[in-house]
Structures are given as C-alpha cells and as structure tokens.
Amino acid sequence: MKKYSIFISALILSMILSVSCRKGLLDQVPTVNPSSATFWKTETDATNALYGLYAAVRPCFDRDYYFDGQAEYFRCRGISATLNNFRLGDAYQSNNTSNMFAPTGYGSYFDKMYQYLFGAVDRANYVIDNVTKMQASNSQMASSRILQTIQGESRLLRALAYFKLICMWGDVPYYTLSPNTNADVAMLPRTSIGKVKDSILADLTYAFNNLPAKVTDFGRSSKVAALALRGKVQLYWGSWNKYGWPELDGFTPSASEATAAFTAAAADLKSVANDYGLTLYMNGDPGQIDSLGKADILPNYYTLFTPKANNNPEMLLVFTHGGTGTNQGEELMRDFAGRSHEGSQCWVTPRYELADRYQSVTTGDFATPLIPMNPTVPASGNVARTTPGSAVNPNSYRDRDYRMKATIQWDYEVSIGSASLVSTGYVPFIYKTWAGNVTINGVSYITYNTDGCNSGFVFRKFVRNYAGQGRSDGDFAWPVIRLADVYLMYAEASNEVSGPQADAVDLVNKVRHRGNLPPLAATKTDTYQNFFNAIEQERIVELIGEGQRSFDLRRWRAIERVWGPPGSAGLWRIDTWGAQQTRYFQNTSDLEYHQDYIFKIPQSERDKNPNLTQNIPWR
C-alpha cells in the first residue's frame, strides 16, 4: 500500500497546500492552510504534507518530453489538452501554443511554467517552515528522523524547482520564507544566478546529509537523488561558465569557475556511479530482440520505460503516477501513441533524422545514411520497398542498436492496439496508410491509425504493449534523473577536466552495451573532442524523449552548430518518402537565436513587480 500513499494524499494536497498556480508569483500564498492548532502536530501530518508537495511539484516535470521538440530529433505538434485537469495542471500550456515546442521561437511562451515552478517553491517553503517549527517545539520532534528526512526531501524539491527556473530564465527571485501576505514577496528583485545556484547546492547538500541511502516508500527521494542532482547542477554551471551566456545580463563566464564546477560535478557523479551499488536496469544487459516486423520480444531498454520497471535501481529521481482510478495517471500513451491505442493523439513523434543516429551492432559506428524513397513511385514493382538502404525497406533497419527497435517504429513494425481497454491485436505501422486493411504474410491487419506522424516514424518508447488502461491512466514513474544519464554526465564532466578517462569510457560503454553495441573504438576516445562527440551521440539515442536534448543544446551553445548560423538557409526536416516537411532557422535573425537561448520573464509578473528586470533579448 505504501506505493500509493502519494496518490491518496491528493485530497490532503488540496486542503493543506491550496495555492493557485495560475496566479503570479505575487499570489503564491496558501489561502486555506489548516490552523497550526489542528495540523502540524504529528509526524503523520508532516508526511502527508510532504506527499502533497510531491504532487504539487510533479506537474512541472513529468511532461518534460515536450521540451525535446525544441531540438532536432523530436517533433511536438501540440500538447495534451489537460487544462484544469488536476492530474497534470497546465504548467506546459500557453495562450499561444504554435511554437512552444518547435526548434525556434519558443522563448516567450512559458509564463505558466514560471508560475507553476514558483508555486512549487512556495509549497516547499511552506512545508520546510512548518516542519522547522515542529522541530523547535520539543526535544522529541527535534530528534525525529522522520522530520529530518522530510526536511531533506522538501529542500531537494525546492532545489529542483529553482534549478529549472535558472536553466530557463537565469536570474530569478529567490526566497525561502513561507509568506504570510503578498507584501512579503511582492517586490522581490531577481537574484543573480550565481547566488541562486549556491542556494540550490546548499539545499542539495542538506538533503544529501539528511536523506537515507535507500528509501522504503516508492517515489520518495534518497541520498543518491540529491547527490546526482547536485552533480547535474554543477555540470550545468560549468557549461554556462565555459560557453558563456551573453543573453543573461551581468553574467560573466569564468574559466576557473568552469573547471571548479566540472571537477565538483565529476566527484559527485562518480560517487553515484561507484559508491551505492547501483546498476543499470537488468544490469545493462540488452536482452532479446524480435525479428523485423515482430514485437513479441522487445529489448530491455523498451521495458525500462514501462511500469514493469518502476522502482528499479536505475531510476534515481522520479515522479510517480497513480494509474487507473486515481485521477493522477500519466499521459504518455495519449502523447506518444496514436488512435489505434485507446484513441491516443500522437502529439509527439520521432523526426526522420533520428533514425540515422542509431549505429550498427556489427561495426559500432554509423551505418550508411538511409535513402528516403516514395514507395508509390514508380507504382509498378514498388522498388522502394526492396532497394537496399531505402528508408521504407524494412530490411534497412536490420542489425542496428537495439534501442532503435525499442524506441521507434518504421514501416511494417507492429505494436499492440487497444480500444475500450481490450486488445485489438497487433497493428502494423505503414506511413500514410491510416487504419487501412493490409495483408502481411497471409495475415489480415488494420494498420496503425496515426496521422499525427509526418516523418515516417512513430514512437515505441513509452507506448504500452498491453491493454487494460486508458490513454491517461498510466502508472509509470517519470524519471527526472536515471543512472545512465549520470554515467554520461560523469563522462562529460571528467572529460572537461582531464580529457578521456578510462573509467568514464567504461561507463559510456556500459550505456552502449544495453543497445548491444560493441565498445567505443580507440579513435572515439583518443581526444577530448572525439570523446565529447561520442558522449553526445549516446545522450541523443539514450535520452530521446526524456526532455534532455534542448537543455543540452542551450548549455553547450550548440544551436548554431545544429541548425546553421543566423541568416543561413536553415535546414529542412524531411520524411521517409523524401518530402520536405518543415524548414527551420531559414534567414533567422541573430536576435531570434539569442531569444532561443533564454526565456522571457513573463510580462504579467513584471506588471505586478516593477523590480523584475527583463532578459536582454526580450527588452
């Protein structure tokens, strides 16, 4: 029953921590908090409040896959219509959704995320403040291990919210009080990113010192989660100081700061990797893979993103979901699957260009790029389906990284369809053949109905291969940080300090092994740049759809590297038939590039608080 305690606390959340996240920073004061005369008396009270805090922070993080649409391999054509839905709230919503999660033009659309994150901060402050009062009330409370743990988790969650705030907006108001009136926070100016970063690290150090190495209640945070997040914060601080952040007024990059931050990040991340007995899911074994066009046996990487893998050692920091009947299910099916799967909407799809990132299990290097071909030209012979290397020839996908079959579907790959919670059997994906009758090897099927796709690929990752749950009733625990990411972050941080290190190469190879790839060739690890390229490659295929790529591109200042410089012709995204779908960054101005590196402070907040300055590109 413990695994459901966070969901049972939903009512407690609404009673104890009722803060409207649709209001601005000035209005984040709890309005119906119970009196301290009746609440905040027992460890159970504090624990229930903590569960409410988790439920409040979760909507700011558990759909971060949308952010991958701001990068080059993931298309987000829209987002789930969950406005006023208690499960998820509307932190990812905008009054103008046309470009929110496109590769450019997104920086001014995140007012609600800003407000929800400060709502999370306020709720964390509220719990921290009241638990502190409990600890001060008597000696028994002062020595309570339960209260110490709650303080650690609350500070971790506050740090997590502030980390996302500085990743998007740079300098933000920083406060740790639980305000009694709006006047307490109404005129707060922005605090420099360096000071906020220091406060985040202090919270995470406190959390590390006060949290258990392992947790007994699924979904709660441990010492390892704090250490991993602290390493990630230091890694980002190193990146900002190495590459600069000219869009952030007053920020002066420092090579010495970068080195110190990378060194600290490497130490924390190495400790996570080595000191707690953690392993990748199923010990990093790739598992078995079915033949082309079948999906009875899927690699372990696929299972990692299903509820079967909940509470496994790889998932270091997660937000849990209640599943059917809790009104707190996740929306992964609705977003990643199509109509053949409980009427899902296919809001996100792989871009065509992702397929060429998956390497050969034989050579361990990139295969010859796929050839986009229209299978209806010529109509006779259908040569596109049989041409070697053709993007619509299923045989072109043979002997690739196992994570490819676990992540995407190409023509004639199958998945389990369902309707009204009952399986409809396998549905084959055939691009532009939506809900059509097709016979394959003498068996009749109705093809995957998913016209939300415009690349020739759809996702398998996050799409359940069983019936029985609706599109919004999932119980998968969304990973904010997992061990494979820690391995890759450690490799990156140590490479920044000392170049390729043997233990870092070994960790990258462990991540590669889950795709059944051979170890990196010596030429991939002989220089800083070659090893960086290998790490970036693994981050792309390992973390696709987990909300990491767009933040990587910004912290590395790599948008121009990926899309071309300002004023260039830009790049087309195409499909498997060779059709041009969308061109990005065509004749894009230098100003718009700058706007893509930092987000706009919401004007609604500045209207309320004249002390809030605006980021440089948005003035």
Strand, helix or coil for residue 313 = coil
- For the stretch 53-71, pLDDT in tens is 999 999 999 999 999 999 9
Question: Is beta strand 315-319 parallel, antiparallel or unpaired with respect to 458-459?
Answer: unpaired
At residue 20, the pLDDT reads 33
Using a pLDDT cut of 70, give the percent of the chain over it. 92
Helix (H, G, I), strand (E, B) or coil at 423: strand
- The predicted-structure confidence for 349-368, as pLDDT tens digits, reads as follows 999 999 999 999 999 999 99
Q: Tens digits of per-residue pLDDT, 87-132?
A: 445 899 886 666 789 999 999 999 999 999 999 999 999 999 999 9
Domains of the chain (ranges; CATH) run: 2-221 (1.25.40.390), 300-312+332-471 (no CATH)
- Give Cα 394 to chain centroid, integer Å: 30
- pLDDT (tens digit per residue) in 396-444: 999 999 999 999 999 999 999 999 999 999 999 999 999 999 999 999 9
Quick one: pLDDT at residue 93?
87
- The SS3 call for residue 182 is helix
How large a percentage of the chain has pLDDT more than 90?
86
What is the DSSP code (8-state) at residue 102? S
Mean pLDDT, the chain, integer: 92
Give the count of alpha carbons within 13 A of 378, CB side only.
2
The per-residue pLDDT for 97 is: 60
CA dihedral 254, 260, 262, 264 (to 10 degrees): -150
pTM attached to this predicted model: 0.94
Q: In the structure encoding, which two tokens stand for residue 475, read together? A: 């119980």
E-strand ranges in 164-228 read none
β partners of residue 426: 416
Question: Taking 90 as the threshold, does the pLDDT of residue 564 lie above it?
Answer: yes
Contact 455, 351 (CB under 8 A): yes
Report CA 292 to chain centroid distance, whole Å: 29
Q: How far is CA 446 from the centre of its chain?
A: 33
